[in-house]
Amino acid sequence: MSWEQTLDEYGEVIEERLEAFLAEAVKEAEVYHPFIGKVYGDIKEFVLRKGKRLASCSTLLTYKGYVGNVDENILKACVGVELYRHAILIHDDLVDMDDTRRGASTLHKKFTNSYSPYDGRFGDGAAVFAANIAYALGVRALMESGFSEENVGRVLLLTSEGYRAVNESQILDLLFEQKDVSVEEWTVMASKRAASLFKVTLLTGAILGDAPEADLSLLGEAAENMGYSFDIQDDIIDSFAKKEEYGRSTCLDISKNKKPLHIIYALTSKDQKKAEALKCILGKQFLSYGEKDLARQILKESGGLDNAKQASKRYAKQAKQAITKTSLAEDAKDFFNSFITYIEQSLDWYK
């Protein structure tokens, strides 16, 4: 079974538990106030949009890699992980001013369009609180998962630290829009971005599966390197994928003056003319097709794209090495290594 088929199979099972959990949460909210019930319904719709469920499936497959089976307790915990992930997405979409997520309106846009079309403040504010609600619901699902008090406590501490870390990284990401950034600074920021999410998802499964302490260290190392590799890939996709492939407008990072690794490499290349030309495009809110093409050309010719791709592959290799050293079952190792290979190979689409 391919890694995509594995995600599809287990993702459907997790979605069933998610739907039931959120349906109950909607009912509880309606008792408090009908409008809050609608808000919970919007959160439910947002969370249940079709996706790969990579976060929760990573937790499930890590757990299965130590325990040997999937049980109701881990499925309940996966509900918590998925809600944790979506709390982060809601905040990301708001800060990045994105309009769509998985083919529909982002939550802040949905709140604005549905309840206050002439006042963006309501939609933005409600989305902040809705993300906090999603996080709190995730904590509740973890607490009610049925695992030992000790293991649940360890997971809640892990989740809290991960949530703090990803928020710290997002503040730095915003700061980088206002300044020149080095590769070293990017590495510091990225160490708490996707890396934090992968750590929470993998280590949650490992802790709940009573993995050996030595494996927790190895999985943390694997997660951090997966995070770096995934971040680089995701940022390259934003610059180079076609809209019909990506599902939304491209070059959004460039229009916001963001500093992903491939852009940092281009800005710090020896070819100062190309670096200056790229600076003239960065931060322009409305990029023409010609400006987007020029930006991509500069990213390629300056070596920015190739250098970032090579960095992503180095991180991917280190992630595989750490995964291989664990005592996970072979099918779990195969899943993660196949997923990491996919990240590596997808970079070759952009030349």
Write down the pLDDT at residue 116: 87
Question: CA dihedral in degrees (253, 258, 261, 262; nearest 10)?
Answer: 50
Q: How far apart are CA 232 and CA 255, in angstroms?
A: 18
Tell me which H or E stretch contains 184.
Answer: helix 183-190
Q: What's the CATH number of domain 152-351, 3.30.360.10, 3.40.50.720, 1.10.600.10, 3.40.1410.10?
A: 1.10.600.10
Write down the pLDDT at residue 118: 84
Look at 81-95, 149-163, 283-297 and tell me which has the smallest mean pLDDT: 283-297
Look at 60-74, 133-147, 267-281 and tell me which has the smallest mean pLDDT: 267-281
Mean pLDDT of 269-287: 92
Please tell me if the domain spanning 1-146 has the same topology as the one spanning 152-351: yes
Phi, psi of 104 (to 5 degrees): -140, 175
Can you read off the two tokens belonging to residue 10? Answer: 């287990």
pLDDT score of 244 more than 70: no
Name the band, by pLDDT with cuts 50, 70 and 90, for residue 202.
Answer: very high
Write down the pLDDT at residue 229: 96
pLDDT digits (tens, 9 = 90+) for 49-76: 988 899 999 999 999 999 999 999 999 9
Label each residue of 68-126 as H, E or C. Answer: CCCCHHHHHHHHHHHHHHHHHHHHHHHHCCCCEECCEECHHHHHHHHHCCCCHHHHHHH
At 151, the amino acid letter reads N
**Helix %, strand %, coil % of the chain (to 5):** 80, 0, 20
Q: What's the CATH number of domain 1-146, 1.10.3720.10, 1.10.600.10, 3.90.1260.10, 3.30.1490.20?
A: 1.10.600.10
Domains in the chain: boundaries: 1-146, 152-351
Q: What is the mean pLDDT of the chain?
A: 94
